Structure 1
């Protein structure tokens, strides 16, 4: 098992260093320039779109989930282990300087997130009482390469509902074992069985049930965690200047450059940042495509806001919890224990219990978000009901297995699969980015004219294989015809 982990780790390291990292940074900068820094100048539109009314069908029922619900489904996947255990791992491996590179890549990656989620909306398809879409769909429809869409779908299914959900379950198990003690193996199995049962109850209910759970759980738990973090920072406010100094010195310091550590710091920051905020990874478009909005650009903006919420708020709070509490970083451990120890040191042992509850709910919501991503891609490959049922069962088993598996092996596999997935998606959105620029121009022209943007596919000549967006009635929802009263 150790040999397998070493092989996977070495291959993944080479892939990230020489291929994925340059593509992530290069395309992110390209999108930033070509869109006129859309991730910054259109922040007001991002916030405004969150509260847009959801278009309805002829019966008055919402066409699909709302922009805000889609935001929470993607946030459910984003806000979890990556924000708490992942940031601790980044600091333990790359030092405080890794935090700066997480921040920088969140800003640059915001442009990539906008492009991929706008494409996800454009090429979405109707699925029963909701929409589905994502990279597999825009690769097939936009690039005419179904084989590449299937490749992406397979990689995502392995990466998210299996590897990443196993990692979320493993962190929940580790957190409970650390908090409550006792037989670690027994605790892991109890947690695993409980998680598997809860996951099964939700995932067999479809996207609307997932959305209803995540829109309640994610904001509440994230706000509680942020509040606790702010209290800890306030208790150590005198340490804040030192922490900022450590972050910037670690990112650009002479000692790091001279010692050859700068590459490790940057790579660690980018990897953990992408694992956390998923910008450019190709996961968030699956959630973004499920929303009912009146213009593809709207959900692209909303998903970009999700990147900021994840990194600049939640990840930053974790980083400050750790750094204000640990002036000496030499003894930090990878994983959840670093954050847990910092909270206990500041607030007492009860904070460990609180963090375990927060971890449980955030990680569980991430498992649900990960599951939905897999479902959307299973349905891209086949609509066979038996295959979907089998996938749901395997997703539940992965949660149980992850609770008792080796943490290091799961992290290593997740990093490797994440690199492959990001590479396929980034190449695709790079080739399709010209369409997004046209959509952004169309959206901006309507906003300047004082309109609430509504897109129909005839507004951008030459679009092919677009299933939705035929006419304004389809997009905004036709006026419902009142039903005649039922005779008694």
Structure 2
């Protein structure tokens, strides 16, 4: 039954909706992910007032790293290998397509999450699909918001936390011979120390961990590309030909390539799932579009950069040879491929990378679960603590348990999660475009940093308290404004 539902969701329904939302919003927004690509970098480097203010809000950069911590995980190492094994190299092409369209989808959902966020007494914000569904669609849709929160809690808070623990523990066992139980206990202790500190402590850890793990992985990938520079065009042509069924010997044909590319692409970058908006909403920014643009960049980092790095490591190696009849899948293929390039230490490096990626994803999954609980039972500290203890237990239990059924179940609940969010996004495209046009109009008027005025959207259920910019921050931004409009 799980396989039947899974095939229906991922083989037909979600592909259609992902294409509809991704391409539809790309066209309606006049290719916002490309128009503002350069601004993605400027938003992160400009406006000192919003980087780390004295009131303890999370910055746009911290929220970006927290979302990258969640997007970049096992899917970038093992998921890419699975996509190539089952769908052929062509799956990478369709993963790229999903990534480019997903940038627009992520912009939309994260802009909505920012616009409909709510202010918390402790100087943080709450937001995400449950909030923009209940506020944006009205009280008649509160049931969908609650259903989304339950699915988010079950899928990420519980299911994927256990799965990440299993993936990390088994990889460390294979590479270093450390028993999975010991790895699970170690992760449980460290995770417990961090999550009891709340989202601010999680963000501080991500601020250090994410750049280290991402840059290290990319440096190794660059070394691999340098060693095989003359074969890169050949690998690119293999990907393109396989994507359109022209290399049948190395994959399951165009159907398998599209299916695996879309499925693994969404699993990796999560655009359309609604998971990243929960994190995007916590940032202290002057306009919702700021974080929408930044979060579109996080999809680019995940899919177009890190997933591509893994793909080229595999395709340029001698470990991937479908004609040999020897099948290596998952993380083992990535390990064998890197070892083929740089020697046996490559296997250990992949395990360490998976450990860091998986660990950061567990922290991200915890926050998604906490946000779900907060929506269902606002500020219930007892439930928060029970959930934290459950996460610690899942880190140990997941490491020692065969999670095949859990993975199948999580795949299905993730499908329903995406379905609920994509339906909501389709219904909220109009307010999403209004927020974007407000940003565009201010840019055209020569305003260097647009400011969101909640009173201009009085017909929408916006929490005005969440858009109270501190006077000193507003003054510094206004002083930095320029008379002539900058290029977008």
Alignment partner of 2:344 out of 349, 363, 379: 349
Alpha-carbon shift at residue 471 of structure 1 (Å): 5.6
| 5+ long unaligned stretches in structure 1 | 1-6, 480-488
1:178 aligns with 2:174: yes
Match of 1:269 in 2: 261
Alignment partner of 2:98 out of 89, 98, 105: 105
Deviation by residue 1:262-294 (Cα, 9 ceiling, x = unmatched): 222211111110111111110010110000000
1:200 aligns with 2:195: no
User: For 1:147-158, what aligned pairs fall within 5 Å after superposition?
Assistant: 147-158=143-154
- 2: CA distance, partners of 1:370 / 1:475: 35
The 3-state SS of whatever aligns with 2:297 is: helix
Give me the CA root mean square deviation: 2.2
Alpha-carbon shift at residue 377 of structure 1 (Å): 1.4
1:312 aligns with 2:277: no
Runs of 4+ in structure 1 deviating by more than 6 angstroms, as ranges, are none
Moved more, 85-94 or 409-418: 409-418
Match of 2:75 in 1: 82
Match of 1:4 in 2: none
- Residues 474 and 417 of structure 1, relative CA distance in 2, 3 Å threshold: farther
CA contact (8 A) 1:23 1:426 kept: yes
Alpha-carbon shift at residue 232 of structure 1 (Å): 1.3
- 2: CA distance, partners of 1:104 / 1:178: 34
Deviation by residue 1:229-274 (Cα, 9 ceiling, x = unmatched): 11112212232222112111110024659x9732222111111101
Q: TM-score scaled to structure 2, two decimals?
A: 0.91
CA contact (8 A) 2:454 2:462 kept: no
Match of 1:337 in 2: 332
Match of 1:466 in 2: 463
Alpha-carbon shift at residue 406 of structure 1 (Å): 2.0
Match of 1:220 in 2: 212
- Residues 469 and 454 of structure 1, relative CA distance in 2, 3 Å threshold: farther
- 1: CA distance, partners of 2:472 / 2:254: 49
Alpha-carbon shift at residue 470 of structure 1 (Å): 5.5
Alpha-carbon shift at residue 366 of structure 1 (Å): 0.9
Question: Number of residues paired by the alignment?
Answer: 467
Alpha-carbon shift at residue 76 of structure 1 (Å): 0.4
Q: TM-score scaled to structure 1, two decimals?
A: 0.91
CA contact (8 A) 1:217 1:362 kept: no
| 5+ long unaligned stretches in structure 2 | 477-488
- Residues 474 and 256 of structure 1, relative CA distance in 2, 3 Å threshold: farther
Deviation by residue 1:85-132 (Cα, 9 ceiling, x = unmatched): 110111111110100000001001111101000000011111222111
User: For 1:89-488, what aligned pairs fall within 5 Å after superposition?
Assistant: 89-127=82-120, 128-144=122-138, 145-181=141-177, 187-254=179-246, 256=248, 261-326=253-318, 328-329=321-322, 330-382=325-377, 383-451=379-447, 452-468=449-465, 476=473
CA contact (8 A) 1:455 1:475 kept: no
Match of 1:482 in 2: none
Alpha-carbon shift at residue 332 of structure 1 (Å): 3.8
- 2: CA distance, partners of 1:290 / 1:64: 8
CA contact (8 A) 1:124 1:467 kept: no
- Residues 47 and 272 of structure 1, relative CA distance in 2, 3 Å threshold: same
- 2: CA distance, partners of 1:169 / 1:290: 26
- Residues 473 and 172 of structure 1, relative CA distance in 2, 3 Å threshold: closer
Alpha-carbon shift at residue 356 of structure 1 (Å): 1.8
